[in-house]
Amino acid sequence: TEQQKQHNRLASEVRYIVERTFGVLKQHYGMAQARYNGLKRNAAKLTLMCIGYNLKRAINIQLS
């Protein structure tokens, strides 16, 4: 229906940003697999990956 199309259009704008970020984290930062046993260590690794990704983006944005 037209309402579903409009909802999908709005959701795709957010989905694009989120999926791109997860794709970069999986491909370049090793997020595709959990390396450690336990949630705390994996959460710490994910946090460090996100910090690195955001720092890299910040540098690229500043240079643009």
Residue 53: domain span = 2-63
Q: What is the pLDDT of residue 15?
A: 93
- Please write the tens of the pLDDT for every residue from 15-53: 999 999 999 999 988 888 888 889 999 899 999 999 999
Residues 6+ apart with CB under 8 A from 13: none
* Total domain count, the chain: 1
pLDDT at residue 4 is higher than 90: yes
What does the alpha-carbon distance between residue 58 and residue 55 come to, in Å, rounded to a whole number? 5
pLDDT at residue 8 is higher than 90: yes
Tokens of 64: 């643009």
User: What pTM value is reported for the model?
Assistant: 0.72
Instruction: Return the number of other C-beta atoms located less than 10 Å from residue 26's C-beta.
Output: 13
Q: Are 31 and 13 in contact (CB under 8 A)?
A: no
What interhelical angle do 2-29 and 39-63 show, nearest 10?
Answer: 100
